[in-house]
Amino acid sequence: MARPIRLDDVRKEYHTAGTTHVAVDDLSLEIPEGSFTTIVGPSGCGKTTTLRMIAGLETPISGTIHFGDRDVTEVRPQDRNAAMVFQSIALYPHMTVRENIAYGLKVAGVSKVERDAAVDEAAETLQISEQLEKMPAELSGGQQQRVALGSAFVQDPDVLLLDEPMSDLDAKLKAELRVEVQRLHQEMDATMVYVTHDQTEAMTMSDHVLLLEEGRLAQFAPPGDLFDCPVSQYVAEFIGTPSTNTLPATVEAGDHGPTIVGEQFEIPAPEPQFADRIGDSVTLGIRPQYLSPDEGDHRIRVIVNVVEQLGTEFVVHGTSVDGAHVNVVDENVGEAGADDELSVGFDAADAFVFDVDGETICHGDALGAARSASTSQ
């Protein structure tokens, strides 16, 4: 029975040699029941600590954690009806695969016959039926992780927690297991929380993404929102590969109202957000995917440093003539070579504007609206 997970002002500190390290800094959010939520962020941002607190392996120093209506803040991990898959896989080396998968059921006192039936079903789902009588050491890394998923599956948990389960696997296995994990999510009635530092996993697998920044919530939203409507420069730069380009600019009073002026562009800005920011420094963010040699209302010139080919696309790493690092992802830049000058364009509707603290002032929609308003005058 899936349950929502609610965190209220959850805080965790570690004390080592007299210094206090805040791992999780008053985190509050509600993970919807039955959802697949990914916690993502750079290493050390508190994502694993958050997961371990949900599992009960760590206790917050303040704040509460609820599974549904039940306060589990002080409940032992044994009594939370959660399952967890670890980065290190954590199979018991002295038990066969079958015994590994069934261990939780054995602890719960389920009869041998029922255990075997549950294991067989899980093994079939995960395509490891042939491996059941082997020892974990005889399996490949991918098969071992399937066994770990199987153990979680037979538990029928309310909450399934996965702590970077694929970080030690190669790319091809990752792709296979991603599908496997998503299928499990469909078959299980459980709220899934998945920790990863790989944003591709986060963006492709989940309904909700929680991006953490130094223990604080940076943004908690569906993957598409994180990509299209980042709440801050940090989110915009973390989500998306390559990272969002940032260009310095200033808000100036133009003839038709406030204008965002950079070295190579002038973009009309909407009155409501920018009227009282005249003179402020801002940062314009534009995703490499939205820069194109052929299109766009605003153009910037870029000196090409390196061109990478990724299948049908090219990634150009360049430097804009005013010195900012600029990446371009497009299908049509193949002709450009190192040291060439490339003119790329973008639509204001695809850009973000951040203030000096990195908070988002507005997304492209507002900028696009401002443009059409100003051009119609």
Task: Give whichever of 51 and 344 is closer to another protein, judged by the CB atom.
Answer: 51
Stretch that binds another protein, among 77-85, 125-133, 237-245, 345-353 (CB under 8 A): 77-85
Contact 205, 178 (CB under 8 A): yes
Q: Does 15 bind another protein (CB under 8 A)?
A: no
What is the closest distance, in whole angstroms, from the C-beta atom of residue 26 to another protein in the complex?
Answer: 25
Distance CA 49, CA 302 (A): 42
Stretch that binds another protein, among 76-84, 172-180, 221-229, 357-365 (CB under 8 A): 76-84
* Strand, helix or coil for residue 216: strand
Task: Give whichever of 85 and 329 is closer to another protein, judged by the CB atom.
Answer: 85
What is the closest distance, in whole angstroms, from the C-beta atom of residue 162 to another protein in the complex?
Answer: 12
The site string for another protein over 139-168 (x = CB under 8 A, - otherwise) reads ------------x---x-------------
Task: Give whichever of 161 and 300 is closer to another protein, judged by the CB atom.
Answer: 161
Interface residue with another protein among 18, 20, 94, 312 (CB under 8 A) is 94
What is the closest distance, in whole angstroms, from the C-beta atom of residue 57 to another protein in the complex?
Answer: 5
Q: Which residues pair with 211 in a beta bridge?
A: 40, 219
What does the chain come to in residues? Answer: 377
* Strand, helix or coil for residue 100: helix
Q: Does 19 bind another protein (CB under 8 A)?
A: no
Task: Give whichever of 112 and 341 is closer to another protein, judged by the CB atom.
Answer: 112
Distance CA 344, CA 183 (A): 41
* Size of residue set near another protein by CB under 8 A: 24
Interface residue with another protein among 18, 93, 279, 311 (CB under 8 A) is 93
Task: Give whichever of 151 and 246 is closer to another protein, judged by the CB atom.
Answer: 151
Interface residue with another protein among 4, 26, 103, 156 (CB under 8 A) is 103
Long-range pairs of 256-259 with CB within 8 A, sequence gap ≥ 24: 256/374, 256/377, 257/370, 257/374
DSSP label of 292: B
* Strand, helix or coil for residue 142: helix
Long-range pairs of 29-32 with CB within 8 A, sequence gap ≥ 24: 29/210, 29/217, 29/220, 30/4, 30/5, 30/6, 31/4, 31/5, 31/6, 31/191, 31/193, 31/208, 31/210, 32/4, 32/191, 32/207, 32/208
What is the closest distance, in whole angstroms, from the C-beta atom of residue 94 to another protein in the complex?
Answer: 4
Task: Give whichever of 159 and 362 is closer to another protein, judged by the CB atom.
Answer: 159
Task: Give whichever of 158 and 350 is closer to another protein, judged by the CB atom.
Answer: 158
Stretch that binds another protein, among 33-41, 101-109, 203-211, 258-266 (CB under 8 A): 101-109
Task: Give whichever of 76 and 172 is closer to another protein, judged by the CB atom.
Answer: 76
> Among candidates 300, 302, 284, which has minimal Cα distance to 349?
284
DSSP label of 32: P
Contact 87, 165 (CB under 8 A): yes
Distance CA 64, CA 369 (A): 43
Window 271 to 290, contacts with another protein (CB under 8 A): none
What is the closest distance, in whole angstroms, from the C-beta atom of residue 38 to another protein in the complex?
Answer: 20
Contact 245, 298 (CB under 8 A): no
> Among candidates 264, 243, 332, which has minimal Cα distance to 292?
332
Note the residues at the interface with another protein (CB under 8 A): 55-57, 76-80, 82-84, 86-88, 90, 92-94, 103-104, 107-108, 151, 155
